[in-house]
Chain A
Amino acid sequence: MASEKARYSFRLVVASLEAVEEDARFRISTWDNADGLASSVARVGLLVPPLAVAGGGRFRLISGFRRLAACRALGWPKLPLRVPEGHPTPAECARLAIAENAWSRALNLIELSRAVNLLAQFSPAGRVDPEEAAAAGLPGGEAFLVRIAPLCRLPQAAQEAVLEEAVSLWTAAELARMPAEAAEALAGLFRRLKAGLNVQREILTHTREIALREGVPVRELLAAPEFTALLDEAGGDPNETTRRVRGFLRRRRYPHLSAAEERFRTLLRELPLASGLRVQPPRDFEGTRFALQLEFETAEEARLLRGRLDRLLEHPAFGALLEGKRRGYETEPQGRS
Chain B
Amino acid sequence: MKIEALFVDSESAAEPEVERISTALGLVPRPVGSAREVFAAVQAAPDPVGAGKRMLYLTANRGAFIRDCPGTAHYTCCGYRILHVAAYCSMDCAYCILQSYFHPPVLTYFLNRGDLAAELQVEFDKQATQRFGTGEFTDSLIWEGVSPRNAELIHLFAAQDRCVLELKTKTTAIERLLPLAHRRRTILAWSLNRAATASRYERGTAGIDARLAAAARAAARGYPLAFHFDPIVIEEGALAGYLETIETLFSRIDAEQIVWISLGALRFMPALKAVIERRFPGTPLACGEFITGLDGKLRYFKPLRIRAYRAMAQAIRRRAPGVCLYLCMEDDEVWQEALGFVPGRRGGLAAMLDEAAVRVCGLAR
Contact = CB atoms under 8 A, between A and B. Distances in A.
Interface string B231-249: 0001111110000000000
A285 B234 contact: no
A337 B307 contact: yes
By DSSP majority rule, is chain A's interface helix, strand, loop, or mixed? Answer: helix
Contacts of A328: 301-303
A336 B236 CA distance: 6
Contact of B289 (A254, A288, A327): A254
Interface of B: 74, 234-239, 282-284, 286-289, 291-294, 299, 301-304, 306-308, 310-311, 331-334, 337
B291 A213 contact: no
27 contacts: A209-B286, A209-B287, A210-B287, A212-B284, A213-B235, A213-B284, A213-B287, A213-B288, A284-B301, A285-B301, A286-B294, A286-B299, A287-B74, A287-B294, A327-B306, A333-B303, A333-B306, A333-B310, A335-B304, A335-B307, A336-B236, A336-B237, A337-B234, A337-B238, A337-B304, A337-B307, A337-B308
Given A256-B303, A337-B234, A286 B287 contact: no
Contact of B333 (A213, A288, A330): A288
Contact of A212 (B282, B302, B333): B282
A326 B302 contact: yes
Contacts of B337: 326
Given A209-B287, A212-B284, A285 B308 contact: no
Nearest to B238: A337
B304 A256 contact: yes
A326 B294 contact: no
Interface string A253-286: 1111100100000000000000000000001111
B268 to A, nearest CB: 15
A213 B331 CA distance: 28
Contacts of B235: 213
> Among A255, A283, A336, A337, which residue has the most Cβ atoms of chain B within 10 A?
A337
Contacts of B289: 253-257
Given A327-B303, A328-B301, A288 B331 contact: yes
Interface in A296-331: 326-328, 330
A328 B299 CA distance: 15
Interface of A: 209-210, 212-213, 253-257, 260, 283-288, 326-328, 330, 333, 335-337
A145 to B, nearest CB: 17
Contacts of B299: 286
Contact of A257 (B287, B293, B301): B301
Contacts of A285: 291, 301-303
A209 B286 CA distance: 8
A284 B284 contact: no
Contacts of B292: 283-284, 286
List of 4 A-B pairs having minimum Cβ-Cβ separation, nearest first:
A284-B291, A328-B303, A213-B287, A209-B287
A326 B303 contact: yes
Contacts of B303: 256, 260, 285, 326-328, 330, 333, 335
Contacts of B308: 337
A254 B301 contact: yes
A288 B292 CA distance: 14
Contacts of B236: 336
Contacts of B237: 336
A286 B239 contact: no
Contacts of A330: 303
A212 B287 contact: yes
A260 B300 CA distance: 14
B355 to A, nearest CB: 27
A326 B304 contact: no
Contacts of A254: 289, 301
Given A256-B289, A286-B291, A287-B294, 18 more contacts: A212-B287, A253-B289, A283-B291, A284-B291, A285-B301, A286-B294, A286-B302, A326-B303, A326-B337, A327-B306, A333-B306, A333-B307, A333-B310, A335-B303, A336-B237, A336-B239, A337-B238, A337-B308
> Among B74, B282, B302, B310, which residue has the most Cβ atoms of chain A within 10 A?
B302
A142 B306 CA distance: 47
Contact of B306 (A255, A260, A326): A326
A300 to B, nearest CB: 38
